[in-house]
Structure formats: C-alpha cells, structure tokens
Structure 1
Amino acid sequence: MDSLRLDSILFKQVTVNFDDRFTLSEIDWTIEPNQHWVITGTNGAGKSALAAVLAGVGDIERGTVTGLPKNVGLVSFEAQAELIAKELKKDDADIMDVISLGTPVREMIFDHCQDPELAQELVEKFGIYPLLDRAFRKLSTGETRKVMLIRALANKPDLLILDEPFDGLDVDTLAMLQAHLASIIDTTPMVMVLNRFDEMPDFITHIAYVDNGRLALTVDKSDDNAFNELYQLLHLKTTNLDIPEADPVNKLPVLDPCQPLVKLNQATIKYGDTIIVDKLDWTIERGQHWQLSGPNGSGKTGVLSLITGDHPQCYVNDIFVFGFQRGKGESIWQIKQFIGYVSTSLQWEYRVSTSCKNVIISGFYDSIGMYTKSSDNQKKIADQWLALLGMTDRADQPFNKLSYGDQRLLLIARAMVKHPPLLILDEPCLGLDDMNRQLVLALIEKICQGSETTVLYVNHHAEDKIKGIENYLELKKS
C-alpha cells in the first residue's frame, strides 16, 4: 500500500489577505504527514479562508508557508461557485459565435483524470451516471457538489481539502462518502471544514479552532479533556439557547432607567502621599458594556472597590451608584444586591463541597454554598444555565472536582442568575489556559449579547478585546 505523500506543511506567523474582504492574521500551524485535520469555528471566523490557503488561495502579506503540495483537491462552496461562473460566461452571445451548451459532466470528470477507473466507480456510487451527458451548469447544487467530489477524489490529490463535504447529501450518499474517505486515509491526508462535530469522521486526528481570523487553538483529538473542552466551547459559541430569565418570584428592585448605574466624579485613591487613582471621572450607563484595563498597581481593584463599597475611601469620594449617593445612609447590601461579582479570590474562597447545580442556585442568596431550600423555579433556572454551559451531565458533580476553567464558568453563571444590573468580572481569565480562557470569553460574549445586564470586564491588556464590549477605560500606573 502507498504511504502518505505529504511533507510537513508549516505556517509561520502568516497573514493572508483575501481581496480586502477578509484577513487571516498571524497563523502558526503545522500539519504532519500522518495527520487528518478538521477546521472548525463559528460562522465568519475564517474556517474556509484557512482551508483555501492550503489550496494556494489568498495573498500572503507576511510570514511563510512551506510544504504545500502542488496536487491539491479542493471541494468548497467557493470553488463550486467559481466553476459555475466560468460555465455561465460561455452563454455570452457577444463573445461566442455559437450558443454554448456548456461543458458536459463527462468532460468535467474524465478530462485530465488521474484514475479513470476510480472515477467510473465513483460515478456509479454517487448515482450520477444518467447525468454524464448533461451540461454541468444545468445540475442542481447537490449534483454539482457530487461532481466536484468525484473529480477531486479521482485526481489522487496529495492533499484533499473538503469544505463542508457532507452538506446537502442524502443519508445513503453520506454513508458511502464517509466509507470511501475512511478507505483512503493511509494514502491521502485530509483537511475538512466542519461546523458540526457529530459529522466528524473517526479517522480525524487533530482539530483547528479558528476565531476572528486567527488560529486560536489546535487540539489533538486523542486528548479527551482538550477535545471535550473544545466541544463545550463550540456549544457556547453556536448554541441558540438564550440567557435564562431571572426568578420571577424574587426580582430585584426596579432602578430608575434615567439614572446611570455608576458615576464617579473626580474619584481619587491615595495612601499617604502616594496617589493611586487621580481625579477619575467615569460614568457607566445601563446597557453600556465596559472594559477596564491597566497594569498591576494602576488602581483597577481600587476603582472596583469604590463601586462595590468595599474600599474605605468610597465615602470621601463623590460616588453615585444605583440611585444612591455614597455616604447618605445606604447599606452596603443595598448596593451589592445589584452587582454580580466574579474574581479569582472568590474562586479561592468557594471551597465548599457542593454540586455544580447548587453553586448556581447559591447566586440567588449571595452565599458560598447552599444553606436555604431552593424553589422549583430556581432549580429550573439553574438547569437552563447548565444547558447553556454544556454541563447538564455534570449537574450533580462536586464543584471542587471540576477543572479550574469549568469552576470559573459556574461562578459567572452564579453571578448572573439574578440578572444584576451590573456584572463585574475581575480578571476572569487569570490562571486559565488558552482553552478555558476561550470558554470564559465566549460566555462573556453571550452575556453581552443576550441580557439586560451591563458587563464590566477587568483585565491587564487593553488589546484583549471581547465582542460586544465597545467602551474602554485604561488606567495608567502613577
């Protein structure tokens, strides 16, 4: 049996432009000869663009790509559209002296075919024998896709790129194609673009996750933990589930919609002669998501403490929160009922041995652990949050047995169950690996898109932006 003919393909800091319509940025990626990849991600993330680069499409502006084979088989909606467009040009009567009937399917498949015997076999298997003498452009979308698949497979490519190859195929054809692909894995390396994990063939060895034009993660499929985390990430990114509603029985008091949530006037934090924050003016309006950034020592945590009432200098500053003027007799709990708060220190404190479901329910009571009997409605809402997180099967697992990233997700859900007007996420990605960081950021995006809660996201790096957050405050170290 022939062995795989592919050399290693190496992307080094590659930026690729596609006619100014889309850009892939800073791609680092290695495809080894014995690997079969799936590229996945949300719509518009750049999955098809990355696959197309392997076929020589796009203008490489920076970086290098080495090891690309010359004989590449590409099946994609874009390549399909290009073939149809070329055929339609033959209808232009101003250019042609005779009316073109278009290229017949037989010619499309068998001209320049590397393996006519295999092509004939696939024609029979795909059931398109009656179409061989029909013009290619007269075929349906599904029939056109079958012709392209046959052409690519019969040309014995050194690399086969299949962009959503199973879309539009009936059950029998799908099973036949999957069986054929499985039969050539020892001789033909493959890269597939798939939206659905349940369509992933068993022979796939690695997964590339693309997000916003960047190769965010690569996962070895044999790594069960990494694979499950990626599955959970795609669930969060693509699920149609909305943010669960608040408990209708125990709703928070209604705030004046005409008042800002937070207003700091010339806020200053200083210790002796050392000024940490100097005369900060900042207003947070309802529905106005913010990112607060700055290096260690710039006063991020101090500013948060002014808002929550945990800083002793909050009463010597001009601070307005949720309709209360600081220092006018309000209690700290009157303020904190309107705030959901997540931080690394909270995660350290949450060491009780309780179930994942009870962690979420504890958010209704602002408690660490459960000491009150929950209502059926609260249990239902907790179940909805677990479904959103892709953690339904872990509802009864102990919180302290989960990964660090899954714990963080649950604490964010705990902070959100009451639908607080303000959700403060203080360095929520601190201590997380790349995968768990992506999970947390995906949940924050979901909250920004689908709830009335205003998000205040705190981190070190101003450039580490989240979709849905459009307001930025960067503190400088004095």
Structure 2
Amino acid sequence: MRTFAGRPPIIRIANGTFYRHHPNGGAASSQQHPNPPLFTNLSFELPSQSAEPHNWCIVGPSLSGKSTFLEVLRGQHLSFPPKARSFPYLATEHVPHRLRTPHRAIQYVGFDASGTGGGLGPATSTYLSQRYESRREKTDFSLRDFLIGNTQLNPSEVSLEDAIDQKLLERIVVDLRLDTLLDLPVAFLSNGQGRRARIARALLTSPEVLLLDEPFMGLDPPTVAGLSPLLRSLAEKASPRLVLSVRPQDPLPEWITHLVYLRTDCQVGSMGEKETVLEGLGKYVRGVWKGGLTEDETLPVHALAEMGRTLTERGIEGEGLADELGASLSGIEASQKSTANGTSEVLGEPLVEMNGCRVKYGNKVALGNWSEERDGQTVTGLHWTVRRGERWGVFGPNGSGKTTIVSLLCSDHPQTYSLPIKLFGRSRLPEPGSGQLPLTFWDIQSRVGHSSPEIHQHMPRSLTIRQVLESAWADTFRSKPKLDEAATSQVEATLKWFAHELNPAFSSHKLGTSSSAGQVEEDTLAWANDYMFGELSFSAQRILLFLRAIVKHSDIIVLDEAFSGMDDAVRDKCMLFLAHGEEKMCAPSKGSRTGDEVVANPAAESGNVTMTGLSDQQALICISHVKEEVPDFVREWICLPEANTGLPARFGRLDGPLRTDAKRWREIWGI
C-alpha cells in the first residue's frame, strides 16, 4: 500500500493487546467476570489517504467480538502497552480542531439498543405504547431536529464550525429515504427508519472515520440497495473513511477491499486484502470438508459456509463457500425443512381478527390506507385473521406498518380500543349483549410472547439473565414473576440448553459431547444470576429475548426481527429449539459438508423433556427482511405495501421454506 507523504495513518495499532478491565484487577474480580485478552498482539493501520482504495470490513460469527474490535479502533478498552494504539493523523493541521480527539473524529453507529451507538436519544419511555401517543412533550423532537442536532430544550446558536452542510443534508435524506419523514417525531419512526436516521446523523457530523456495526441489519431490500451505493460514494471520496462489520452469512459490499475475520475467542483469524483472506478461508473450509485438516473450534466451518457473496447495485451476486463445493443443507436446515410442525390443514379458532384497521396520526395514515374488493364489496383498511396452528410471515418495506401491526395485536397501541379488532375472540371494549367482559391489557400480555427491537430497547440492562427469562411470567419487566414449579423447570432447562451462548464465562472445556446443543457438565446455573442483561453481547441479548418470547408457550408468539444480529449457526439452533424444543439436538458431523447433524436427544427417549417445540395450539407471527431468518415451517404470508401508495396488502401461501427458494422470496416482494 502506498500512502501519501506527510500523511500518517488515522489509526495505528502496533502489536497491542486489549482488555475490558485492567488485567491486574484482582483474582476475585476476574473469577466472577473473566477478563481475557482481546486481539492479542494486534497490528492494524487505517490510512488517512492512500493511492488505492482501502475499505475495511470486520467479519465474524456470534461472540467473536466484531463490536469490540470497532470499539478498540475508536479508543475504547485498555491497550497494553498503552502506546501501542495511537491516532497520529488527528494531530496534524489537516484535521479541524473540533475533530482532534478520537471521540469526535471517529463516530460509531451500532444498533444494540443500548443508547451508546448513536441512538435517537435515550430510551426513557417507561412503556411501549408511549411511542404511539400524540406528540405533546417538549422532548418529542422531530427527525429534522434530530438530524441537525437541535435536541436541546434551550438550544444555543450553532457555530459556523458545527453548522450542518445543507447540500449534504438534502442528499443524505433523499438517499436514505428520509425526506418525507422530516417533520415526524423520532418516536414515531419504525425500527428500520430509525436505523437509517442514526446513520444519517453520523454522516452529517462529517467525521474522519465512520464505524458502522452491521449497518444493513433490519433494513428492507430496497433500502439496502439504496444505502450501499451511498456508502460506496463516501468510501470512494474517503469522506469519511468507512469501517463496517457484518456477519459471515451477509454479502460483502463490492467496494470493500480489506477484511478482518475474527475467531470465536476474540482473536484475529485472518486479515488482509479481501481476495487473499477469502482464498485462505476457502482453502481451510475445503481442507476440513475433504478430511485433510482438523477443524479449529474457534474457527467453525459452518459459520463460513455462506461467506463470499457480494452485494452489488444489481443485487446479491456470487456463491458462498458451501455453494462452490456443492454442499447441501445443514442438518438443522434439513430438519426444519422436513418438519410438519405447524402445517396442519385443520383451522383452529381465531386468535387475532382485524376487520378494517386503519391507524392514523393526525393527517398521516400509518397502516391501512387502502380499499379493495372483498366478496363483492368495497372494504377499507387491513382485514386479517390469525388462527391457532397457523405460521405467518409478515413482510413489507420499512415504514409500511409492520411494527404498528405488532403493537395492535400486543395491545401496546392506544388505538387498539377504537379499532375493529378482536383478540382471543374478545374486544378491548364492552360489547352490549355479549355477556363477556372486555379483555384487559394484562390478559393480552399474558397470552402473547413477544421479541422485537422495541422490547430490546426497553429491557432494563440491570436485570440478570435469569430475571429477563422469568419476566415472561411477570406483568412488567421489573415486577415479580408468577412462577410455579413447571415454569421454573422451563426456565432452567432453557438456560442449560443455551449456556454456551448466554454465559459469558463459558469455556470450551465445559462442553459435553454436543456443544451446539448447549449441554454442559455444570451442576449450577449461578452464572444466570451473576451476569446482567447489559453485560451480554448483542447476539446473546437477542438470543435471550427470543427465548423469553417462547419459554412460556404462549398462545401467540411474535418474532419481530428476532434473529437479526445472530450468525447462521446460532440462528439455526434457535430455530431448531423453536420447532422441537429439547427433543432434537445437534451433533457435530466432522468432515461433513452438511455441518452439524440433527439427532434425537437421548433424554427425549426416556421422557425427560421439559421444553417442547411450537404446538398446533399456538400461532406464530414472524417479521423479517431476510429470508434466512424466517422459520422454514412458515406458510401463510402477508406483504404490506409502501406507505401511502393506496395499494392493498397482498396475501399468499408458501409451498415450501423461504430460505431454500429465492423465487418464493421474490413472489412475496412482487419482484
């Protein structure tokens, strides 16, 4: 690489090792919260300018430390030796005074709902329905205010140095499809819209470096197609310099030139030019599958199977390593594909009935802004029924109303009272002559298991792992759960099954013969009381919230982007648990191209199973923008239209799993 004379790198790391806490913090402290070295003897440079493109992407499976690596680049975590990490370019005359510190010059945008990743302000609301109330608080800033930084109750006059470039603002809001949302309160934005707003805000600060932690997660295909070219144009101008992180199964933007691939122990597995890294990983995968190499447990082959595809302006192109070698479905995928769970043709009783729902905020219609012909009559709004035993997929662009639908069926939305909705055969308001009492908010919450980005945002970070799981039986996140012996058994069985993924101190020597099944030789689940939700990685938080949604065996399970943030191996394990509970498990199939093999749990043969899979008495509603994150037994689907187009929602039925046939996915999206 040729660098420009007199221009030192923005970030320089020379043989540095990093720690979350001081390594001499004491034995007692390290036993309770292990403090292993991160990225031992790391050397890395991000040039300020170079003759050739130099765009980095950090890739790794769950628990590999992608977010931690980005934090290290920004100056977080302790460096040993201290001078191993430096930011020489920031001290030069080429950098404005306001950007002379890493905290200002290097912006990080993550989507972990922790409030530290460039969020839309702190998560201060105490209940989910607050986001749907009328705008009346002084702190209900508009998207325009948020983007230009006008979020102070008594704002001072903005200095010229901090003024927003209006041309840049106009371009970014158009490219990120935010131009029609500028006057909305940020609390009204959907999850995908909020992600785009956070990226836009970071771009408008004109940083020297922008760290984007899984920027495409949770975005619909049209938005991804628009965001990648915008990022490419920024990368080509090196304004700002971009560093992304993605999961192994995510396609790599074609403008990425350099990769860091992380092992599962927070160490670097491979680093360098993209083609060189991919070639080396491909040789490793082929060597393991052909039996010549022993698989490194910190570099699982299964996680690399989909690596190598490219995100272009024309869509996703190329093949993953598994496709190149003609590998078939993994054992987990095959098990899901063949399961008959939830495919019964016998229609159960209605659990959700929406008969013409139309949600408005003032003059803005958020859902149901259409009319259509049904049975010879013109009807308006959303008409949708969900019955016991049905497995639904809900799709549509960001802002089309998917989150609003979830809020209606979970009764978080205040308009639930006034709309023609029945839940579990009953209305929220008294019905004259029915002889039935109206449903209460608590009745509904007790019968719906729900995982979503909104739940993630509001889950108290100070709850322990066990408390988060037990809160499925509580009225609120912090209230005392109503647990009986069966509920306690379900919680403990689930914690044991996912100890590998949830316990931050889990080490490989504790694994039994089936590591991916989560069974360990521990006599205690003390770790579930020792670690708080906020101490877990983003992936582990997602897993815990998914398990919270299903552990109670509620009548309705709502999984709203529940698998986003997980790598494919962890995601598939969660889907297997959703389908079969403890009855099926994964057994490593070494040297096989099909990954882990799904086998019957020996405990199931003796009847010693506490957690079972989804039953035909339950309904599933899954929302996702990624076909691989839709369980293979989903058959019914609804696709909402782009907001305010006047087009009606479309319905259909799948003849097989989404992830195995791109044609089915295109049919849903109408492309």
Q: TM-score when scaled to structure 1? A: 0.46
Larger radius of gyration: 1
Q: TM-score when scaled to structure 2? A: 0.34
